[in-house]
Amino acid sequence: MPGNRKKITKNTKCRQLLHFSFVDSYKPIFMKLNEYNQLRLAEQASYLSRKGAYLMTRKDHHFNISLYSVDSFFVELWADTQGDGIFTIIAFKDPENIHFYTEDILLGELLE
């Protein structure tokens, strides 16, 4: 072969896929907020889908904002209501940010 080019075969592709699968599956069992925030958006979404516990959804203008509990923090997934996918993901620990959701919870109904 001319130069330094590697011949890509079916076996090479299989090894690459196995490597990426192994690397992707080797995630910490418990992730800290700062580690989560360092991930790319696609990685955050993947971790959220595997480890997140859905809590509730609220609407804000043209966004559906879903709240999840993940490890020791909360995550908001902002999705466009027009179906354009994920706009952003915001992770936080401060329980003060939960007030957007608690406005919709009627505690009286829960106590009955």
- Residue whose token pair is 């959804």: 57
pLDDT in tens, 25-68: 555 578 899 999 999 999 999 999 999 999 989 888 889 999 99
Q: What's the rounded Cα separation, in Å, for the pair 31 and 17?
A: 25
Question: What pLDDT does 27 receive?
Answer: 52
Question: What pLDDT does 95 receive?
Answer: 78
pTM of the shown model: 0.65
Q: What is the DSSP string of the chain?
A: --TTPPPP-HHHHHHHHHHHHHHHH---SS--HHHHHTS-HHHHHHHHHHH-EEEEEEEETTEEEEEEEETTEEEEEEEETTS--EEEEEEE--GGGGHHHHTT--HHHHH-
Its sign, for the CA torsion 20, 22, 23, 27, is: positive
